[in-house]
Amino acid sequence: MLVSSPMNNLPPYLCQTEEFSCFGCCGHHFEGEKDVLQQVKENTNRFGSKISLPILQSESEVLSKSGICHSVINKGNKVMCGLHPMQNKGEDNRDKECEREYFCKTMHQWKMWDEEKKVNFLEFMKKKNPTVYEYSIKMDNDSWLEEFLK
């Protein structure tokens, strides 16, 4: 199902696109959508509208009880790491325990696909209309990649 007018400006990463944001690699063993999103809200409320590096870096545990990193915040309609270089003019302030080089299998595939396949995948995802939680979990566990490739 090729889209008739290919996008000229495809995102370099699936983690933060115009439509979607992902926190799949920002934690482990997530306790469920409600708990995770509540933690993200608490993280965001603590930091206010400005990301406070000392507060983010002062957490004694990197991961919250919900399984998500304490550095994941809401910014606009996106969920993202407040310490990520894309949020800090290229400066990487993430904790040493952060899996900085991690990409899910879907992202590895994305980097190898041609423009047509990328456009088709984005259209596939738009039809899913996922919540940020659903997008994050199913991107990281490769279930949507598997469904797309069938």
List, for residues 66-96, the tens digit of each pLDDT value: 888 888 888 888 898 888 887 778 888 777 7
Confidence of residue 6 (pLDDT cuts 50, 70, 90): very low
pLDDT for position 123: 96
Asked whether residue 127 carries a pLDDT value surpassing 60, the answer given is yes
- Is the pLDDT at 26 greater than 80? The verdict is yes
Is there a contact between 77 and 115 (Cβ–Cβ < 8 Å)? no
What is the C-alpha separation between 68 and 25, in angstroms, rounded?
9
pLDDT at residue 116 above 70? yes
